Structure 1
Amino acid sequence: MSEKNFAHLSLPLITAETAPVDVRGILASVQLEVDCIPHMYAAMANAPGLLEAYLDSTQRFRQESSLTLIEQEVVFLVLSVVNDCPYCVATHSGIAVAVAKAPPEVVEAIRAGKPLSDTKLCALVNFTRAMFNHRGRLSSNELNAFLAAGYRQTNVLDIILAIAITTLSNYTNHAFQTELDDELRPFSWTQEIQHARNGRSS
């Protein structure tokens, strides 16, 4: 089913001026930091608890995870691809390249669903997909391969938190069919376009 055939919410995108009092300060801080309110945040602000849960859990993941910034973006990008969320794929592609300084070939491989040449990151990609696909019910082989690549058991919990975070973001974007912010357009992605590109390169 194409995206246009899915229902989407008609709630407005909230601004710092129209926001409920309990999230007005949050949106104002975001706008001050990045010079805009990302469309996803504006959508989430219709439910203050949703926006606050997303921002708080993301901040704690960033601060408390022992995963490197590149590894964090790999996890978020993998989950956004398997959840088929164009907005979050574009977001985390941009962060991976511009902030985490991830090699472009790593980002492109994840977007295309292709294996990575970096063996440790490849193990992270495979394990993250397994966690998502099996709903956390892992085989001993899957867990052992992840640990053998140099990761810790606590990183399993990091990935569980990332799954929770991307559930909040991806499902919000599905419900709103969130339009890309202008700065994300160079990183636009859809499964249909990616499949077409993969077919041309095979």
Structure 2
Amino acid sequence: MKTNLKINFEVPNREQMSVDNLPTYDTIVKSVGFMPNLFATLGLSDNGLKRYISFQNEKSSLSNKEKEAINLVVSEVNECDYCRAAHTAIGKMNGFTDEQALELRSGQVSFDSKLNALVKLSQNIVHTRGKVTSQYLELFFNEGYNQGHLVDVILQIGEKTMTNYLHNITQIPIDFPEVANI
């Protein structure tokens, strides 16, 4: 059931952040060079930005490249224009080409069998709401992943789903180079 209710969300600036979010806000600006609109929007919650970034920055058994592969396919499944754009740009910083980012988003990776297993499983988890098809688990484990990796994949999917939903609801402006739909 969709609603026709339209609420206009404004991206908050630094002065509109709670004191608890300010250190995180300043750290992001210092490291990235600007405050991405989606992160700023997390700051609408008194603890939202700090809480999300803390979760995002925790250690994982997955490499940054693997996390970006998950971010791309999950953002595609969840139809999040902001995260597709952001993670295509971040994916490039982690060594993916535009063509590879498109493959990752599609869930069909020809250039790396291990990433193919990872994105197929991730895509299936999101599509089935965790009632995964055994063939994707088998493919994942056959590529050398273990049960600990599986837990980290689920955590990464959850982390990305949060920002996908936030943008899909708020529709705040995209401040990364936009990418084509596939």
Q: 1:17: which partner in 2?
A: 15
Q: CA deviation at 1:65?
A: 1.6
Does the Cα contact within 8 Å between 1:86 and 1:190 map onto a contact in 2? no
Distance 1:114 1:161 in 2: 18
Q: CA deviation at 1:6?
A: 6.2
Q: 1:51: which partner in 2?
A: 49
Q: 2:148: which partner in 1?
A: 154
Residues 88-132 of structure 1 show CA distances to partners (whole Å, capped at 9, x for unaligned) of 01111111112x112443212123x26211211111111101111
Q: CA deviation at 1:11?
A: 3.7
Q: 1:71: which partner in 2?
A: 66
Q: Greater share of helix residues, 1 or 2?
A: 1
The answer as to 2:79 corresponding to 1:84 is yes
Residues 43-101 of structure 1 show CA distances to partners (whole Å, capped at 9, x for unaligned) of 111113332232111101xxx22222211100111100000001001111111112x11
- Gapped runs of 5+ residues in structure 2? none
Q: CA deviation at 1:156?
A: 1.1
Aligned residues: 179
Among residues 108, 113, 127, which one is paired with 1:115 in the alignment? 108
Q: 1:189: which partner in 2?
A: 179
Letter in 2 for 1:85: C
Q: Give the alignment's Cα RMSD to 1 decimal.
A: 2.0
What's the % identity of the aligned pairs? Answer: 28
TM-score w.r.t. structure 1 length? 0.80
Letter in 2 for 1:130: N
TM-score w.r.t. structure 2 length? 0.88
Letter in 2 for 1:20: S
